[in-house]
Chain A
């Protein structure tokens, strides 16, 4: 087993020196092996998004270190880390460029982590590949390559973002509640698609979700965050056999707290 991601003792605070000072990540340590599909749950303010943003480089951590595929990326900017990371955001508007066409968005993602020169942005060879990939989505997007992405629905855009994130087989796929803004049916479609892509491309992925059942159903490892630290970490058989009550019990045992966030239980 090789470690794709090594997060060591990271701390992150926001609005330091003000009354709103918020110490979110408190010495979090985490290692993720190749091929793991980790679902992450936790209440509001537990640090789920902060953890993902720290890994992606949206901001630098206050202390600790982050290694991606053996490389120390702690001080690297987002654009530099992007060669290892594919990303889907919570807001469907975040993951695609609205005024660019479907094929142009895919072409931008196609060059992730590579040098961009003065050759044609969308090549005919790529178009063939894009059509092939879009067919898998079953959303009839393959016939609308030239369509502006701004005209697509939220679900279509999230599916496209997912495809873009997986296009260059990233070492790590980060999914930040990427189905939270969708209706239940579309949400299920995007989740199943996520599962399919992760399995087919044998990706290593981290997926934040607000829904305990989803966290249990998908992936092969489950992490529950509490107060900026890991409260529950289960994988393999233990995770497969887990139920929501089991998870709540385990969380209570490990953290000494009851889960108080209704949204998390009712999901």
Chain B
């Protein structure tokens, strides 16, 4: 039971990253690898600021802001310099590796004994497990609520329309490049926010913690889509949270089975490969079923 609760709490914190990935991957139809750099960026900024004595809440917000900046850089590279989206992400994430090292001054920063959002909540007399759950729940629901409001505004509609049909959007006077940059910005801001929360939960930020971010994010998105298809925007965001929790449960289960933690990235990749191929497998088995009936 305690493992399931911990998977849920972890899944909630990671879901914010997955929602960020969803914004570029599904809404804008761009595969953005900046995530691999903006996630540890959020962690590095937040941990370093907390160590420097800033409040956890302020540190978390500054981490979010730094992630948005990283997103703007990728957005500009992609739209103004017309660098292909995949390369754009690789460029920014590579550059961010050095920047993250600079921010932390070393390969990792520990938050042991420092104030974090979770410990602040805990100080109201909750168990540490409950406090993670509450922070995760509050943060993810707030993000979903704000995104739901934003993507139903005129500008939000314009961003969704840009990702859906660029030619049509331009023909309707939408400045598609600006919309893409906003999308990149929101996406990487959320990814950095998730990094900041994870760093506080783990009590450390590490230069290597971004490796595999995009795989985890995509796996959560796709698991959510495979489990529930054809949904409206707000419900879709909720299913990403569910996808993120399911992904965590699978990983924690695998670890419980006694798998070496160093093999876990391989499992992440496998889960994503399986999730990505599910629509095709479903289609094929349906076809076979039809053939069998005939």
Interface residues of A (CB under 8 A from B): 56, 58, 77-80, 82-83, 85, 87, 89, 93-100, 104-105, 107-109, 111-114, 116-122, 164
Interface of A is mostly: loop
- Separation in Å of the A108 CB from the closest CB of chain B? 5
Given contacts A118-B150, A119-B154, 13 further A-B contacts (CB under 8 A): A79-B174, A83-B173, A99-B164, A108-B161, A108-B172, A111-B154, A111-B158, A112-B173, A116-B154, A117-B153, A119-B153, A120-B153, A121-B154
| A4, B143: Cα distance in complex, Å | 47
Q: Which residues of A contact B150 (CB under 8 A)?
A: 118
Size class of the B contact interface (CB-based, 8 Å): 20 to 34
A118–B172 CB distance below 8 A: no
The interface bits of chain B over 164-176 (1 if a CB of A lies within 8 angstroms of the residue's CB, else 0) are 1101111111111
B157–A100 CB distance below 8 A: yes
B164–A78 CB distance below 8 A: no
Pick 15 A–B contacts, CB within 8 A, sort by A.
Answer: A56-B171, A78-B170, A80-B173, A89-B167, A93-B165, A94-B168, A97-B165, A99-B164, A100-B161, A107-B154, A112-B173, A113-B173, A117-B154, A120-B152, A120-B153
| With A89-B167, A95-B168, A121-B153: A114-B173 Cβ-Cβ less than 8 Å | yes
Nearest CB to that of B177 among chain A residues?
Answer: A79
| A96, B166: Cα distance in complex, Å | 10
Q: Does B160 contact A (CB under 8 A)?
A: yes
Interface residues of B (CB under 8 A from A): 150, 152-158, 160-161, 164-165, 167-176
| A105, B167: Cα distance in complex, Å | 13
- A98's partner among B164, B170, B176 (CB-CB below 8 A) is B164
A78–B171 CB distance below 8 A: yes
Nearest CB to that of B175 among chain A residues?
Answer: A79
Nearest CB to that of A114 among chain B residues?
Answer: B173
| With A79-B174, A97-B161, A99-B160: A117-B155 Cβ-Cβ less than 8 Å | yes
- B174's partner among A58, A104, A116, A118 (CB-CB below 8 A) is A116
| A191, B22: Cα distance in complex, Å | 40
- Separation in Å of the B150 CB from the closest CB of chain A? 8
Nearest CB to that of B179 among chain A residues?
Answer: A116
Q: Which residues of B contact A121 (CB under 8 A)?
A: 152-154, 156-157
| A80, B170: Cα distance in complex, Å | 9
B173–A97 CB distance below 8 A: no
A87–B171 CB distance below 8 A: yes
- Quick one: which of A82, A89, A94, A97 has the most chain B CB within 10 A? A97
| A169, B17: Cα distance in complex, Å | 43
| A83, B175: Cα distance in complex, Å | 12
- Separation in Å of the A165 CB from the closest CB of chain B? 8
